[in-house]
Amino acid sequence: MKQQHGSLTLPAGSKAAGAKLHLQQWLPDDAPKAAILLVHGYAEHAGRYQYFAEHCVGRGYAVFAIDHWGHGQSEGAPGYVPDFSVFHDGVDQLLVYARQIFPELPVMLVGHSMGGLISATYLLANQSNFSACVLSGPAIKAAEEPSAFLKAVSGFLSRFFPKLGVLELDSNGVSRDPQVVADYLADPLVYNGKMGARLAAEMLNTMTYIQRHAGKISLPMLLLHGEKDSLAAAEGSKFLDGQISSPDKSLIIYPELFHEIFNEPEKDTVLSDMTDWLDRQLLAKGA
């Protein structure tokens, strides 16, 4: 396996134009059969997906990922984003880069948590660029549905106090494995402060948007979710499964698993479920 680091630059026209995003790629020693664009979750970074990448490379996939703006080793303010579209701009650049390296390969989109929300909404205008999509614990519905008052307050704070910390996530909800939680808390590239008002409002608005427009997605999709996910409700994946118009869609709910299903004790089963499904997609397309 070949692992490389680099950077991508957000283009003119982006609300964060010129910002540098940290890039990682994991490539098999032999020619890959497809490329995976990995879209990580809130407050974390792509480096936490080393085990994920090793599994996928072992199955013949090339994996490409960025740290989102304001995350990991990328530029930007943690816990804040000027506009949710900045995350989409990052996926744009990652897709362009992967296509430059492997112009003929099928491309699969894999998003986790907030990365699942980024991926789902990105598909609304860009699904023709992908052969399939996998969403892991996507943040489509909040664990607790916010009240109308809270939504109104979040809009006010987003406008006038955009970086004010308003939401703190419980790191114990990440995984049932205490070592994973300990590593998460000790990781200097993980943001453990409060989510700012702008990002919180942008996420709520984007959740509402995908709930209204999910039927426009027709790409083959696999939805994976832990039933005991306290950070992103499993109802979000169930909702998407019922709403998207994809003729080829699958939903797997893991009864005992927490939020980061790729970091749970059962991760090998979850990862195999994912790559087995991706393999079937390639076989169906004759790739």
- 269 — pLDDT class (breaks 50, 70, 90): very high
The better pLDDT of the pair 222, 158 is held by: 222
Supply the pLDDT for residue 5.
98
Residue 170 has pLDDT above 60, yes or no: yes
pLDDT at residue 150 tops 70: no
Q: Residue 118: give the domain boundaries.
A: 2-284
Q: State the CATH number of the domain containing residue 196.
A: 3.40.50.1820
Side-chain-side CA neighbours of 25 within 13 Å: the count stands at 19
pLDDT of residue 166: 82
Residue 152 has pLDDT above 90, yes or no: no
Name the token pair of 22: 């940290």
Confidence band of 148 (pLDDT split at 50, 70, 90): low
**Predicted pLDDT of residue 102:** 98
The total of structural domains in the chain comes to 1
Instruction: Determine the pLDDT at residue 119.
Output: 98
User: Would you please indicate which residues are annotated as catalytic (active-site) residues?
Assistant: 113, 229, 259
Average the pLDDT over 150-172 and give the result: 78
Q: Which long-range contacts (CB under 8 A, 24 or more apart) does 183-191 make?
A: 184/44, 184/48, 187/44, 187/48, 189/44, 189/45, 189/47, 189/67, 189/72, 189/73, 190/43, 190/44, 190/45, 190/48, 191/43, 191/71, 191/78, 191/79
Q: Is the pLDDT of residue 157 over 90?
A: no
Per cent of the chain over pLDDT 70 is 95
* pLDDT above 60 (res 35): yes
Q: Which residues contact 118 (CB under 8 A, 6 or more apart)?
A: 39, 68, 84, 87, 88, 91, 111
Q: Write the CB contacts of 280 (distance below 8 Å, at least 6 apart in sequence).
A: none
